[in-house]
Structure 1
Amino acid sequence: MNIKLYSAYALFFFGIIVNAQQVLTTDEAVKLTLEHNYGIKIANNIVEVAENNTGVLNSGYLPTLTGNAGAAIDVQDSEGQRVDGDVITAKDVETRRYNASLNLNYTLFDGLGRLYNYKRLKEEYQLSELEARETIETTMLQLFSIYYTVAQLSENTDALEETLVISKDRLVRAGYQFDYGQSTKLGVLNAEVDINNDSINFINAKQQLRNTKRDLNVVLGNQISEEYHVDTDLSFLFDLNKEELLDKTKANNVSLMQADRNINISQFDIKTNKAQFLPTIGLVGSYGWNESSTDNPLAFTVQSTTSGLSAGLNLSWNLFDGGGTLTRVKNAKLVLENQKLQKEQLNIDVERNFNNAWDDYQNKLLIYHVQEDNIKTSQNNFERTQEKFKIGQVTSIEFRQAQLNLLNSELNRNQAKYDAKLAELTVLQLSGELLNVDF
């Protein structure tokens, strides 16, 4: 009786300690992951790079303006002859020259190459957004896989601890029965062996739980520094409709949307390469300033300064480049054809994967319901066996078997519950709805 009292106190105080720990809900886990997961941060930076590439500063539509300046000093000896025949010599004649200019270049027409390249960059930006979304979806699945593993191990640990408490109570009863001559020493020894096995299983489960919590913290960006436990209550989206989700899969699956972006990029590659067949017309303009001065007594002009504007048009047409442009166009068309073939293959794969995932979800949901019914049967059987064991109508071996049946039912129920939830999340990911539901 004292052992029961102590066990009740221990469970009571353990419950107080657990409640004092931080409870990490699924909503909090999602928020921390989106804010601090390193893979998601990297994906967001890649999207920002792609967005910068689509700006006007990278479009090629703005002119280029360059400035040039220079200065030179010459020191020379010069010699001249007058009309009367006298020779005049000038030593260390210094000549200074200065110049500065601004040059403007602007492409008026390049065969629409800039336009197609700009549209291609827009498609690449949208593709990077889809790749970031794929990273987020994959990370969310990883998060919930580990989160629900923690939840499952938490419930398993509780079940194993309860089993250990029952085994200790059984050892006390076996000791009483032996002391009063109602059983042999074998009953006590069997109870001690079972306690050792239950203790080992409980210790291993706690260690596995601690390790998995560390794995979860890595996904969260190492944001949980204190001890915590997770929410083991979950619900299923029983109103899911297969046909509606299949339609959403064909329209919103991230892999199919990426394939569409790649097809568009390939089409713009063809147009960009074809633009090289056309001429390029450019506008050029410059403003220049030049100054020259000398102290040469033989020079007619001691200092001169010139400045002025100039402008013009230039045309460049690569009439034949050895066939390089034609080859690039042909190759770009083949790439486009491959992208379209990959999209057709991907459609088949995605539909197959969705049907498999849906059937897997329904199967695991059914197994979970069966395990729920099975645990009720095992609980009822254990309680009856326990009552009979107390009055000596069943052996310790029969009692142990009923105890293990209940434990296995609880462990199997926990496994089935979280397997079904992860299968549901996989269906939502394939249909593009993973980030649109409340967890």
Structure 2
Amino acid sequence: MNRRFCTIVSFIITGFGIYAQELITVEKAVELALEHNYGIKVANSLVEVAENNTSILNSDYLPTVTGNAGATYNLDNTEAVFANGEVTNLNNAESSRYNASVNLNYVLFDGLGRRYNYKSLKEQYQLTELEARETIETTLLQLFSVYYSVAQLYENKKVLTQTLNISNDRLKRSKYQFEYGQVTKLDVLNAEVDINNDSINLINISQELNNAKRDLNLVLGNSVLKVFDVETEVNFAMLFNKEELLQKAIAQNVILQQADKNILINQYELKTGKSEYLPTIGLTGSYGWNENNNNAAAFLAVLTNTGFSGGVNLTWNLFDGGRTLTRVKNARVNLQIQEIQKEQLLATVKRDFENAWDDYQNKLTVFKIQEENIITSQNNFDRTSEKFKLGQVNSIEFRQAQLNFINAELSRNQAKYQAKIAELEVLRLSGELLNTQI
């Protein structure tokens, strides 16, 4: 029964990994995410819309030209009474009128309102770019988190595979020793229980690995069509200067830069509101054609007019019930709110940076300690294995040494990738995530 179970386990594990053909490096994963991630695609589309809004065609600086045309047809019965008493009737008298014109309107001056609106649209475009950058940074951090989760599970699977192999060897040795009377049946049963537990752990970790790969592929916009593996090597940038990164966080953090843009946009909104105190001067022009085909009762049978017309008009809203004044006051208050929020964001970014820096340093230290612990656990397991082969320790002591070594390796793997994610969070807060070789 145990042999059959091991065969099933081997088939399942092989099925999970035998088709791994493509290696997705960190650089390749970033490239795929930037090109295919759904959130990044939406952010780039919003940037395109904001760029379209900054066009001269959306600025109100260009004139408007309209065309008009019309036609009227009349069928009348007319009775005319003259001074001498004579009466004349005109039945079914037809008449028609036709007209066409092209009209131009252009605002020469509107109190500089459209100028500030146009500048605000440009700042809105840059704000949308910053929002897209924030989306990219957040997505990349999510990408790295899932990517290194896959890498950790992959290394954990290797550890558990090795553990299962050791347990298989131990079971064979226990069976041989039992046949020659060197151990009791209890040792064989203990070995079978341990190998079953190791097999179950390996099945579970294999399923977790495949689930994590699907999560990674989703972040990549489902762009990987083949079964793939990831890199497990991690490099740390050890030359960070805390004060330099803090200054970069203050100058380059995308949240703070968005706050600066919002302040500038509110300043333009305040100026736009004030522009409504000034008059608007407009230019109008028209070229038209009119033709009247009169009935027999008219003095003129056909009357046609063509020509140009033009003019200048001034509109000055002397009093609008106080709506403009209220709008200006609210714009000034909104500007003050944006400045207060900028101060709060600055304090928050400094706090988050300090927390992220300490977290990174602590996790990097834990990783180094775990690496040293691996050496100790390896030596302890090797010595226990030799003593176990010589019959100097029992299976329980051997299993404990094996579990200690397994836990040390799993803890080392976890510490390594947690330290890397903590490093990336520091880079994100300092605005350097997109400028640093990961």
Q: Is contact 2:283-2:313 (8 Å) kept?
A: yes
Task: Tell me, in whole angstroms, the C-alpha distance in 2 between the residues paired with 1:18 and 1:88.
Answer: 108
Q: Is contact 2:20-2:228 (8 Å) kept?
A: no
How do 1:404-419 residues align onto structure 2 when only pairs under 5 Å count?
Answer: 404-419=403-418
Aligned to 2:140: 140
- One-letter amino acid of the counterpart of residue 425, structure 2: T
- One-letter amino acid of the counterpart of residue 416, structure 2: K
Residues 40-83 of structure 1, C-alpha deviations (whole Å, 9 max, x = no match): 00000101111111110000000011111000000001122456
Task: Tell me, in whole angstroms, the C-alpha distance in 1 between the residues paired with 2:367 and 2:226.
Answer: 33
Aligned to 1:311: 310
Aligned to 2:398: 399
Task: Tell me, in whole angstroms, the C-alpha distance in 1 between the residues paired with 2:353 and 2:289.
Answer: 72
Task: Tell me, in whole angstroms, the C-alpha distance in 1 between the residues paired with 2:19 and 2:374.
Answer: 26
Task: Tell me, in whole angstroms, the C-alpha distance in 2 between the residues paired with 1:83 and 1:412.
Answer: 119
Q: How far is the alpha carbon of 1:170 from its aligned partner?
A: 0.5
Aligned to 2:377: 378
3-state SS in 2 of match to 1:100: strand
Q: How far is the alpha carbon of 1:19 from its aligned partner?
A: 8.9
Task: Tell me, in whole angstroms, the C-alpha distance in 2 between the residues paired with 1:18 and 1:410.
Answer: 24
Task: Tell me, in whole angstroms, the C-alpha distance in 2 between the residues paired with 1:366 and 1:18.
Answer: 36
- One-letter amino acid of the counterpart of residue 141, structure 2: L
Q: 1:361 aligned to 2:360? A: yes
3-state SS in 1 of match to 2:431: coil
Q: How far is the alpha carbon of 1:299 from its aligned partner?
A: 2.0
Q: How far is the alpha carbon of 1:294 from its aligned partner?
A: 2.5
Residues 245-281 of structure 1, C-alpha deviations (whole Å, 9 max, x = no match): 1111110000000000000011111100111111111
Aligned to 2:90: 90
3-state SS in 1 of match to 2:290: strand
Aligned to 2:231: 231
- One-letter amino acid of the counterpart of residue 74, structure 1: N
Residues 115-162 of structure 1, C-alpha deviations (whole Å, 9 max, x = no match): 010011111101000000000000000000000000000000110010
Q: How far is the alpha carbon of 1:237 from its aligned partner?
A: 0.5
Aligned to 2:349: 350
3-state SS in 2 of match to 1:225: coil
3-state SS in 2 of match to 1:209: helix
- One-letter amino acid of the counterpart of residue 299, structure 1: A
Aligned to 1:215: 215
Task: Tell me, in whole angstroms, the C-alpha distance in 2 between the residues paired with 1:299 and 1:265.
Answer: 63
Task: Tell me, in whole angstroms, the C-alpha distance in 2 between the residues paired with 1:191 and 1:334.
Answer: 75
- One-letter amino acid of the counterpart of residue 392, structure 1: G
- One-letter amino acid of the counterpart of residue 396, structure 1: S
TM-score, normalised to structure 1, is 0.95
Q: How far is the alpha carbon of 1:88 from its aligned partner?
A: 2.1
Q: 1:193 aligned to 2:193? A: yes
Aligned to 1:104: 104
Aligned to 2:42: 42
Task: Tell me, in whole angstroms, the C-alpha distance in 1 between the residues paired with 2:247 and 2:18.
Answer: 45
Task: Tell me, in whole angstroms, the C-alpha distance in 2 between the residues paired with 1:260 and 1:79.
Answer: 78
Aligned to 2:180: 180
Task: Tell me, in whole angstroms, the C-alpha distance in 1 between the residues paired with 2:388 and 2:87.
Answer: 139
Aligned to 1:153: 153
Residues 87-118 of structure 1, C-alpha deviations (whole Å, 9 max, x = no match): 22211000010001111111111110000100
- One-letter amino acid of the counterpart of residue 387, structure 1: E
How do 1:265-276 residues align onto structure 2 when only pairs under 5 Å count?
Answer: 265-276=265-276
TM-aligned CA distance change 1:351 to 1:40, over 3 Å: same
Task: Tell me, in whole angstroms, the C-alpha distance in 1 between the residues paired with 2:337 and 2:40.
Answer: 30
Q: Which stretches in structure 1 are left out of the alignment for 5+ residues? A: none
Q: 1:332 aligned to 2:331? A: yes
Residues 292-333 of structure 1, C-alpha deviations (whole Å, 9 max, x = no match): 01241x321100101111111111111111111111111111
Q: 1:429 aligned to 2:436? A: no
- One-letter amino acid of the counterpart of residue 412, structure 2: R
Aligned to 2:162: 162
Q: How far is the alpha carbon of 1:18 from its aligned partner?
A: 5.7
Task: Tell me, in whole angstroms, the C-alpha distance in 2 between the residues paired with 1:82 and 1:329.
Answer: 68
Q: Is contact 2:20-2:227 (8 Å) kept?
A: no
Q: Is contact 2:19-2:227 (8 Å) kept?
A: no
3-state SS in 2 of match to 1:435: coil
3-state SS in 1 of match to 2:276: helix
Q: How far is the alpha carbon of 1:224 from its aligned partner?
A: 1.2
3-state SS in 2 of match to 1:304: strand
Q: Is contact 2:43-2:131 (8 Å) kept?
A: yes
- One-letter amino acid of the counterpart of residue 201, structure 1: N
TM-score, normalised to structure 2, is 0.95
Query: Number of aligned pairs?
Result: 429
Task: Tell me, in whole angstroms, the C-alpha distance in 1 between the residues paired with 2:278 and 2:160.
Answer: 78
Task: Tell me, in whole angstroms, the C-alpha distance in 2 between the residues paired with 1:371 and 1:85.
Answer: 124
Task: Tell me, in whole angstroms, the C-alpha distance in 2 between the residues paired with 1:104 and 1:162.
Answer: 83
- One-letter amino acid of the counterpart of residue 56, structure 2: V
- One-letter amino acid of the counterpart of residue 115, structure 1: R
